[in-house]
Amino acid sequence: MKIAIGNDHTAVEMKLEIQKFLEDLGHEVVNYGTDAAESCNYPIYGEKVGLAVAGGEADCGVLICGTGVGISIAANKVKGIRAAVCTDATMARLVKEHNDANIIAFGARIVGIEVAKDIVKAYLDAEFMGGRHVRRIEMIHEIETR
């Protein structure tokens, strides 16, 4: 799978570890995040990953900032993006099964590296359930057309 990854300055180390974790699992990872420790603005990276996923350049995305919230809000402004903040593996599984999230986000100041790996693995291992959830996702995207 081709995975777009992005982060701000709070998550450089975690991004690099997650990138390696994903590559070790056999995925191709494209880094849209910063590799610098200097303070920067997370919306830049949320948008970059959002555009890569919405444009089909990546199959899905991983976003990391301090909490996962700011960067996911930015990504969710891109049409077609369903970015979901996760704090554990159960959330990560459910956002794929029910919401067909195409980006997962988490916080480097909230979860440790092992939980972050669990989140990513649970998300990648899960499958969208379809059925009644399709209608609800269509309703979300209908909002984008108003």
- Site of interaction with ligand RB5 (CB under 6 A): 8, 10, 42, 65-67, 69-70
Question: Could you tell me the smallest distance in angstroms from the CB atom of residue 69 to ligand RB5?
Answer: 4
Name the helix (H) or strand (E) containing 118: helix 113-125
Question: Could you tell me the smallest distance in angstroms from the CB atom of residue 91 to ligand RB5?
Answer: 17
Strand partners, 105: 63, 85
Of 7 and 93, nearer to ligand RB5 (C-beta) is: 7
Does residue 133 have an active-site annotation? no
Question: Could you tell me the smallest distance in angstroms from the CB atom of residue 101 to ligand RB5?
Answer: 18
Does residue 86 have an active-site annotation? no
* Annotated catalytic residue, options 9, 40, 60, 98: 98
* Annotated catalytic residue, options 27, 65, 133, 141: 65
Which residues does the annotation mark as catalytic? Answer: 65, 98
